[in-house]
A and B are shown apart, each in its own frame.
Chain A
Amino acid sequence: MVDWVSSFLSERTCTLVFQGSPNLSSPVFVGTPQGSPISPLLFLRDVAPLHMSVPRSLMVSYVDDFSITVASPSYRGNIRRLQSLFATISMRGRDIGVSFSVPKTELIHWRTWSQRTPRSTAPIVLEGHLFHPSEVVRWLGYWCTPALSPTHHFRHRLSLAQAVFSFVKRLSFPGAGVQPFLCHRIATGLLCPILTYGADLLTPTYTALRGMNSFWHRVQRWTTNNFFSTPTSILAHEASLPPIVSYCRYRRRLAALRVACAPPYVNPAAARVPPDFPSLSSFGAQDSSRHLTKGLSSVYLPLNWRTKVPSPPLRKHLPVDALAHLTIPLQEGLTHLPLVLHTLPPPHLMRKTYRSLRARARHLLLQDWTEEGPTPPYYDYPPSLTPPIPSWA
């Protein structure tokens, strides 16, 4: 294995390919080759020493994207801690031959929904560069605002989905249009994932939902060829595409299941569930982000995961707590639930239970769908995720 990795990383050359380039090969001594599945693993192994466990801070990375979060009673205190942490990490990086691209740094001051103090504009200085706090930071496709408002994120998702939809609408057999079952596949396999990316953690607000619903109705009309005068509840039934609200809730339930049923060494998010959550807690890692808010005043404290979000929401759950809350209805009526076990159950039992919980989530989706958009009395077809005119017809 060592020889294989050594051979993989040695004697590498690169050639610049563009018009007028000298077409010369240059030796490469750093990094890992792009495009190989083993490269990110080797890179992660190399940068593992950069991850530190520091009290009241959280360090998360996705391949070469690092983020540091710190908490203290003041913004100035946060800035000072960030600067000192960055200096420490940079020094560690130098020891292993890694350097950060400082100009790409972004800073955001997190707030809670109930915080009434003025927004901070305190900048940070790293290696002589000054960085002012941003209103929005994009990380792993999530558009994050200081209070984690989902409106901005879903506005971006909507414009992306609209752009893709305007492109796929042009796909057509000459004079015939795309067959409805193909439209359904495009809607479920392409448009819906683009539109609802991030719905696992973020719940769309009323404003965001208005635009998303309007777009989704256009997709449903395109799928079924129905008229504009067709009631939207019937449109969803005919297209076999659930309303966005119900679908987002379903996505969140599935995400909750993944978190609840996976041991932390398989799914890192499982390490961040609330301490009293009846998960595979004896396998819980110690790196919970909960300690960031410990000891702060009540306006910073998140809701307990068992508490339903009040309407209008004054204080919110941590996103992972909101996910944990969604597992409550899934547990109803199930006798064999693995969530209270203290030893890892056999894989076949885990698989079986996970499947039955997934089926229950699906059942809840159909139930939500019926309650969310009741159809007029003259329409008596039930909601279904399978199109009424399938591919074999």
Chain B
Amino acid sequence: MGLGKFVAGRIHQTRAGKSYLAAHPTWSDDDPNLTCPRWEIEPETFQHAILSCPARTRDRDLLLKDVSSLGQDASLWTEPHLLRALGEYITTTKSGFPPDMSPEHFFPPSP
């Protein structure tokens, strides 16, 4: 029951606007690159990563077809199955994951 600490943390961080998404840069980065690393046209905002990133269309169609908004009145924040689907989507697409956990930096554990 309940989303795990890690996935719930991703949701809190992206909602708060301070996360590992490219459009939420750290203050120490002088020249941040805000564009989405998977679709290098738009900035990687919360909205983009969850609702509009073309590179994640397959997972979105599969898991988030009932989600159309992330605003304060969205049914996402009141419907349990939608919130669980969002958690699954974040886990599958690794959206908002720390850079060392993203697919391109993944190394199998050493023996």
Taking CB atoms and an 8 Å cut-off, the chain A residues in 350-393 that contact chain B are 376, 378-382, 388-393
Say whether A224 contacts B12, CB under 8 Å.
yes
Residue numbers in A under 8 Å from B109 (CB-CB)? none
C-alpha gap A224/B10 in the complex (Å): 9
Beta-carbon contact of A229 and B18 below 8 Å: yes
Inter-chain CA distance A382–B77, complex, in Å, is: 12
Interface on chain A toward B: helix, strand, loop, or mixed SS?
loop
Q: Nearest Cβ distance between residue B19 and chain A, in whole angstroms?
A: 8
Q: Which residues of B contact A229 (CB under 8 A)?
A: 18, 26-27
Cα of A29 to Cα of B2 in the assembled complex, Å: 56
B8 touches A179 (CB 8 A): yes
Q: Which of chain A's residues has its CB closest to B87's CB?
A: A393
Are the C-beta atoms of A380 and B72 separated by less than 8 Å? yes
User: How long is the Cα–Cα vector from A178 to B72 in the complex, in angstroms?
Assistant: 26
User: Which residues in A have their C-beta under 8 angstroms from that of B27?
Assistant: 229
A231 to B13, CA, bound (A): 11
- Cβ contact within 8 Å between A389 and B72: no
Establish whether residues B80 and A392, one from each chain, have CB atoms under 8 Å apart when the complex forms: yes
For A393, what are the chain B residues with a Cβ–Cβ distance below 8 Å?
Answer: 2-3, 80, 83-84, 87
Chain B residues positioned under 8 Å from A234 (CB to CB): 16-18
What are 22 inter-chain pairs, A to B, with CB distance below 8 A? A176-B5, A180-B3, A180-B5, A181-B2, A225-B6, A225-B8, A226-B9, A229-B18, A229-B26, A230-B16, A230-B18, A235-B16, A238-B15, A378-B17, A380-B71, A381-B72, A388-B15, A390-B80, A392-B80, A393-B2, A393-B84, A393-B87
Contact B1 A391 (CB under 8 A): yes
Give how many A residues have a beta carbon under 8 Å from the other chain's beta carbons: 29
Q: How many B residues are at the interface, by size bracket?
A: 20 to 34
Chain B positions 1 through 40: 1 when the CB is less than 8 Å from some CB of chain A, otherwise 0: 1111110110111011111000000110000000000000
A111 to B3, CA, bound (A): 54
Contacts of A379 in B (CB 8 A): 15-17
Quick one: given A229-B18, A234-B17, are A389 and B12 in contact (CB under 8 Å)?
A: yes
Cα separation A180 to B84 with both chains bound (whole Å)? 14
Which residue on B lies nearest to A228, using beta carbons?
B18
Q: Quick one: closest A residue to B82, CB to CB?
A: A393
A179-B4, A180-B8 in contact; A389/B16 too (CB < 8 A)?
no
Q: Can you list the 6 inter-chain pairs with the closest CB atoms, starting with the nearest?
A: A225-B9, A177-B5, A393-B83, A224-B12, A180-B8, A179-B2
Which residues of the other chain, B, contact A381 by a CB distance below 8 angstroms?
15, 72
Chain A: minimal CB distance from B82 (Å): 9
- The residues in B between 56 and 111 inclusive whose CB is less than 8 angstroms from any CB of A are 71-72, 77, 80, 83-84, 87
Is there contact, CB below 8 Å, between A178 and B5? Answer: yes
Most A-side CB within 10 Å, residue of B13, B16, B77 = B16
Please state if B77 and A227 are interface contacts (CB–CB under 8 Å). no
Chain B contacts of A235 at CB under 8 A?
A: 16
Residue of B1, B12, B18, B83 with most partner-chain A CB within 10 A: B12
Q: Give the residue of A225, A380, A382 whose beta carbon is less than 8 angstroms from that of B13.
A: A225
Closest to A389 in B: B8
Whole-angstrom distance between the Cβ of A195 and the nearest chain B Cβ: 22
